Every structure is written in C-alpha cells, then in structure tokens.
C-alpha cells in the first residue's frame, strides 16, 4: 500500500504543483484522418464494468474514449476527433479493497488498490461507439482494424468510493473513483510527435457522478465516467524518494540549528 499511496501522492503533487508537461500528437502520422495538436492533458469518457470475485477482490474491464484535450486549462476538441477518427484506451485491471467489502460497497465508503493493470491505446478512422455492461466495457462499433499506438501497465494506483446524496431521491449513494501511475510505451513514433523521445510515464485519475454509476448484482457499471491522462518523466522508485525526503528533512534541521 505504501507504493500505491506514494504513486498517487506523486501524481497529485505533480498535477497540482507544477504546470503539466505538454505533448504534440500527429494523427496523420498513424494514418488517421486528423491534424496534429498540442495539449497537456487528455480527457476521456469511461465505459467499464466492475465485478467482485469474492468479498474484497474485483476485476475492472473497459474502454476510455478520448473526448477532448486541454492545454493550460483550456479544453478543445482536436480537428476530426470523434468525427473523422477516434482514439481510445482498452484496459484490464484487478484489485482488492482494504476497507469495506462487496456487501458494504453501496452503503459505506471503501478504499483499495490495483493489483494489476494493462492497457492499449488505439486509433481508427471513422467513429466509434462504446457501452458498459457488468462484465466490462464493450466497443459496439468502429474498432475493427484499429492501429495500436501505445501500451503500458501499472506502476502504482488505488481505488476508493465516497457517499453522496442523490438530489432526486435524497438517498445516500456511492460514487467510485480511481487513480493510477502507469508506464507508457509508444508503439507509433510518427503519432507521438513531441517530445522525442516521448514520455514513458502517464498519470491518470478518474472521477464519476451519481448518474454515471449503475449497481449490478456483483459490482457496478460506469457509463461515460470522467477521466484524465497526462504525462511525466520516469518516476524514481519509492526508496529513492525516501532518501530524497530524508535528505531534505536533514537539511531543514541543519538550517534551523544555524539560525541565531
């Protein structure tokens, strides 16, 4: 859990304390009917299904459809995106809860961690449609013959849920969220125009609203949930950060002792 907590803390600190690193993507470089664009954050729509295999272990499968891009806090839709071509992430994950369980999920907050997570970024010309079922997200149309653009796997990440009041029923309902730091390996160099070489780490976070969650018998589905993906340079291992933080603490103590 320390590894997961550190990864999430680093992702949050990186996103909130510094300007996000920018990137330039060139769809035409991968044979897609779009023009190059520059951003610093990718916004996605989540279509997924979460099922529990026992009281605390779950499987999460789905698709993240790229809907728009941000640059300096301004949101825009790249020319042709979701009209002439589409981009999406296909992911598969497993995890476990450390607080709460499958039977209390709908009535009390819960938290946990991802155990495994792999994904593939793909693109295709035309338009794509997605849906969510309890067994996982599904590409309804437009995904056949897609081009693989990148892939990666989990470095660290966690899941959680909060209880919110449904304004329509005034009942308390659960809203799940997640965040993860993942490796990022570009499979199409012509698509990832800048920087060169491209980033090797991606920071992700996913938040949902009440209307996007539908409980099922052994879990829940997410339809058009919200997500964001941005990039970073490789993150050092936790022991490296421990040494860095320890050094900073010692430096701070020495500076305090030297003050008159």
Question: Residue holding tokens 């680093």?
Answer: 10
Question: Is-contact 185 116, C-beta < 8 A?
Answer: no
φ/ψ of residue 176, rounded to 5: -85, 150
pLDDT at 208: 86
What are all long-range contacts of 96-99, with beta carbons under 8 Å and residues at least 24 apart?
Answer: 96/56, 96/57, 96/58, 97/56, 97/57, 97/58, 97/159, 98/1, 98/56
241 burial via Cβ count (<10 Å: 0-12, 13-18, 19+) = middle
Structure tokens at 102: 């499958």
Tens of pLDDT along the chain (260 residues) come to 444 444 444 444 444 445 799 999 999 999 999 999 999 999 999 999 999 999 999 999 999 999 999 999 999 999 999 999 999 999 999 999 999 999 988 888 999 999 999 999 999 999 999 999 988 999 999 999 999 999 999 999 999 988 777 777 777 778 899 999 999 999 877 999 999 999 999 999 998 887 888 888 789 999 999 999 999 865 444 444 444 344 434 434 343 344 44
DSSP per position, 220-256: EEEEEEEEEEEEESPPPPHHHHHHHHHHHHHHHHHHH
- pLDDT tens for 196-246 read 999 999 999 998 887 888 888 789 999 999 999 999 865 444 444 444 344
Whole-structure pTM value: 0.82
Question: Is-contact 69 230, C-beta < 8 A?
Answer: no
Structure tokens at 204: 């992700």
What are all long-range contacts of 208-215, with beta carbons under 8 Å and residues at least 24 apart?
Answer: 208/46, 208/175, 208/176, 208/177, 209/175, 210/164, 210/166, 210/173, 210/175, 212/46, 213/173, 213/174, 213/175, 213/176, 214/132, 215/106
């Amino acid at each position: 859990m320390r590894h997961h907590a550190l990864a999430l803390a680093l992702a949050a600190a990186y996103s909130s304390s510094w300007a996000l690193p920018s990137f330039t993507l060139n769809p035409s470089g991968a044979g897609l009917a779009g023009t190059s664009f520059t951003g610093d954050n990718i916004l996605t729509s989540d279509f997924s299904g979460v099922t529990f295999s026992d009281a605390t272990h779950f499987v999460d499968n789905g698709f993240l459809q790229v809907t728009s891009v941000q640059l300096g806090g301004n949101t825009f839709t790249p020319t042709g995106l979701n009209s002439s071509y589409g981009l999406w992430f296909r992911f598969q994950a497993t995890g476990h809860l450390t607080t709460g369980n499958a039977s209390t999920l709908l009535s009390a907050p819960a938290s946990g961690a991802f155990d495994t997570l792999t994904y593939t970024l793909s693109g295709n010309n035309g338009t794509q449609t997605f849906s969510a079922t309890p067994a996982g997200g599904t590409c309804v149309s437009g995904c056949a013959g897609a081009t693989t653009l990148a892939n990666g796997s989990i470095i660290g990440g966690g899941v959680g849920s909060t209880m919110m009041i449904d304004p329509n029923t005034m009942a308390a309902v659960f809203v799940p969220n997640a965040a993860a730091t993942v490796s990022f390996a570009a499979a199409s160099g012509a698509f990832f125009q800048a920087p060169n070489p491209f980033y090797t780490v991606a920071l992700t976070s996913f938040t949902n609203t009440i209307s996007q969650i539908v409980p099922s018998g052994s879990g829940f589905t997410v339809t058009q949930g919200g997500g964001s993906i941005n990039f970073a340079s490789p993150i050092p291992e936790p022991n490296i950060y421990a040494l860095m933080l320890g050094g900073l603490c010692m430096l701070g103590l020495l500076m305090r002792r030297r003050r008159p």
